[in-house]
């Protein structure tokens, strides 16, 4: 497949929530417990701590439910679309994924592994400037891009 061609994207993009928490003991536990109480499963998590605030990035099983819950509770958050790539071995390894993006000069802004596997393969979340643009070179290199419906219950 030619990298310049645009393949048809076959699902809803994965939504990453960036939640701002006070940097205090128990804040992360409180949020995780809240999600558990509402049967929202954390599938991927990244914590970026600073002096006064913690940015928690989440991929969840029920993005609509999480958005509603955060709004109702007055918890600050933002949402952006990310790519979730199924990694394997050989050319579909992490190095191959990064090389495919590098060849088309796409920077990875944020990355983290998901807490689940799909078909025995690890999943890798990446935030890039233009997920639609990054989709094509990844697919051309044989990577499977996972969509929200693949992750949701």
Q: What is the mean pLDDT of the chain?
A: 87
Does residue 6 belong to any structural domain of this protein? no
Write down which residue in 52, 79, 106 finishes a domain: 79
- Domain at 99, CATH number: 3.30.2130.10
Write down which residue in 60, 79, 98 finishes a domain: 79
- Do 103 and 131 fall into the same domain? yes
User: What's the predicted TM-score (pTM) here?
Assistant: 0.85
Considering the chain, what percentage of its residues have pLDDT values greater than 70? 91
Highest mean pLDDT among 20-24, 97-101, 119-123, 149-153: 97-101
**Residue 88 vs residue 3, higher pLDDT:** 88
* b/e burial code for range 121-149 (CB count within 10 A of at least 16 → b): eebbbbbbeebeebbbbbbbbebbbbbbe
Query: Taking a C-beta distance cutoff of 8 angstroms, is the pair 34, 73 a contact?
Result: yes
Total domains in the fold of the chain: 2
**Residue 114 vs residue 4, higher pLDDT:** 114
- How big is the CA angle at 117 (ends 150 and 115), to the nearest 5 degrees? 100
Residue 94 domain boundaries: 81-148
Task: Please report the pLDDT score of residue 22 as a whole number.
Answer: 84
């Amino acid at each position: 497949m030619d990298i310049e061609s645009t393949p048809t994207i076959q699902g809803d993009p994965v939504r990453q929530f960036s939640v701002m928490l006070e940097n205090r003991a128990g804040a992360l536990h409180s949020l995780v417990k809240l999600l558990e109480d509402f049967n929202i499963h954390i599938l991927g998590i990244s914590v970026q701590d600073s002096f006064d605030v913690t940015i928690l990035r989440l991929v969840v099983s029920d993005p609509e439910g999480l958005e509603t819950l955060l709004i109702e509770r007055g918890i600050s958050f933002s949402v952006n679309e990310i790519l979730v790539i199924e990694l394997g071995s050989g050319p579909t390894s992490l190095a191959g994924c990064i090389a495919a993006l590098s060849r088309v000069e796409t920077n990875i802004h944020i990355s983290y592994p998901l807490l689940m596997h799909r078909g025995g393969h690890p999943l890798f979340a990446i935030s890039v400037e233009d997920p639609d643009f990054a989709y094509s070179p990844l697919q051309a290199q044989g990577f499977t891009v996972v969509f929200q419906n693949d992750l949701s219950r």
